[in-house]
Structure 1
Amino acid sequence: MELLAAGVPPRTRRRTLAAVAAAVAVLVALGAGVLVDVDPQIRLDGAVSRALYAGDDRSGAQDAALEVLTSPGTVWFRVLAYLPVLLWLGLGRRWRTLTWVLVAVVLVSPLTTGLKELVGRARPAFEGGGLEYGSLSFPSGHSSGVATLVTVALVLAWPRLAPLGRRAATAAGIALVALVGTTRLWLGVHFLSDVLGGWALGIAWALGIALLLGGLPGGPAALTPREGRS
């Protein structure tokens, strides 16, 4: 662990550990709330779902638009988005970097599925939403997927970006994560806790893998900064 963290500023390591711990705490608290039916959480989930659900009678055009907006949370979108990056890393023989990115992007899906089975929450009972799905609800796979996609992208690109680029990329990433999470509520296929839990899982997983495999800026699996940037 020390070898993999070599070169990573101590402040970065501490902040990353704190972020991972906070995200895991949120995930555990929400999952426990679902398992033991914490009344305020369950009532809030139901109220938000009913308020945001787009309805059983939405048009085909509305459905199509929502499916497009929610697609960044899917496995196939992550694979297509990162395929050029993985090819570039492979051609450049950046094997350590390729490894942590691939592990983070691919394995978040089976991890999410395992947690779904552990918690065993049914989806919202909307005829045009959750009742059309045979899978479970907590945490949201789309939400964990898009949070992983964005977090990995930010960690990977951070050394190469100027301060303005970092702020712009972070803002765009947050907007994308929020959009995909909201579409799951509009479609009526997840509760608020599912979305928040998915975000927490994706962030904790991506940052944890980057920390573990040396992908944080300054680590042996990180991209080298462009000249004049740190």
Structure 2
Amino acid sequence: MWGLVGFVPFLVLTWLVRTNGALHDLDQAVVDAATAVTAAHPALETALVAWSAITQPGLVNAAGALLALWVWRRHGLASRAAWAVVTLLVSWGLVQLAKESVGRVRPLVDGTFVDAPGYSFPSGHATAAATAAVTLTLLVWPLLGPRARVVVPVVATLLTLLTCADRIFLGVHYPTDVVAGVLLGAVVSTSSYLGYRGWNPTRGRTAPEA
């Protein structure tokens, strides 16, 4: 139930993107300003392009799967690791479905910093980053000490925000695209975890699986 409720902000934003011309104009104005900054600073452009390459959804999901494999093999948290991998894959599938359903074209910019085929809404990079941030933090949560339980979520959040900014400053996504991606990723991960906690066959055991 709560998982479905969590999708409401994403659906509202989707409706606004498809129907509100003023929002689109604001989106385009932000992209214009951001890409002007990128064009004026070649070093920034180089850094943004590099970050875009290493945060491709496929690479993020592969890194998450490797971490899940390590958690399973090293700490024996098999069902938790399987949950994490499935969640990453489900999120990836949902963002592809959303892109095709909305069919929003990418921003119009003067010049192209990176090649970004396909539709714009929601951002696949932002969705993957948010999904990984929440899912992988929850994956390793039982293994973290008190200090790490502060550091890991903060670092995961900062990396997600950096990825969102990267998409806008490269001119391949509107701000609403990345906001939608973060919403989708966070909701999928959280609702998936709530379902996992309700199903988890190791509940009640002394092992850190739960």
Relative to the length of structure 2, the TM-score reads: 0.83
Task: Choose between structure 1 and 2 for higher RCO, CA contacts under 8 A separated by at least 6 residues.
Answer: 1
Q: Which residue of 1 aligns with 2:85?
A: 102
Residue 85 (1) aligns with residue 68 (2)? yes
CA offset digits 1:100-132 (Å, max 9, x no partner): 111112232221011001001000012434994
Residue 146 (1) aligns with residue 129 (2)? yes
1:146 CA drift (Å): 0.3
Residue 66 (1) aligns with residue 66 (2)? no
Q: Which residue of 2 aligns with 1:192?
A: 175
Which stretch shows the higher mean deviation, 90-99 or 190-199?
90-99
Q: Which runs of 4+ in 1 moved over 6 A?
A: 215-219
- Contact 2:137–2:153 (Cα < 8 Å) also in 1: yes
- Contact 2:31–2:168 (Cα < 8 Å) also in 1: yes
Pick from 152, 159, 173: which aligns with 1:176? 159
1:209 CA drift (Å): 1.5
Identity %, equivalent residues: 25
- Contact 1:124–1:190 (Cα < 8 Å) also in 2: yes
Specify the SS of the correspondent of 2:111.
Answer: coil
**CA separation in 2, counterparts of 1:96 and 1:31?**
33
The verdict on how the C-alpha distance between 1:159 and 1:102 changes in structure 2, with shifts beyond 3 A counting, is same
CA offset digits 1:163-186 (Å, max 9, x no partner): 332121111111111000000001
Counterpart amino acid of 1:76?
L
The count of aligned residue pairs is 208
Tell me how large the CA RMSD over aligned residues is. 3.2
1:27 CA drift (Å): 1.0
Pick from 73, 94, 97: which aligns with 1:111? 94
**CA separation in 2, counterparts of 1:100 and 1:42?**
37
The verdict on how the C-alpha distance between 1:224 and 1:142 changes in structure 2, with shifts beyond 3 A counting, is farther
- Contact 2:135–2:189 (Cα < 8 Å) also in 1: yes
Matches within 5 A, 1:186-225: 186-214=169-197, 220=203, 224-225=207-208
- Contact 2:31–2:171 (Cα < 8 Å) also in 1: yes
Q: Which residue of 2 aligns with 1:50?
A: 32
1:155 CA drift (Å): 1.1
Relative to the length of structure 1, the TM-score reads: 0.76
Higher share of residues assigned helix: 2
- Contact 2:61–2:132 (Cα < 8 Å) also in 1: yes
**CA separation in 1, counterparts of 2:112 and 2:202?**
44
Q: Which residue of 2 aligns with 1:8?
A: none
Runs of 5+ in structure 1 lacking a partner?
Answer: 1-13
**CA separation in 1, counterparts of 2:148 and 2:84?**
21
The verdict on how the C-alpha distance between 1:215 and 1:177 changes in structure 2, with shifts beyond 3 A counting, is farther
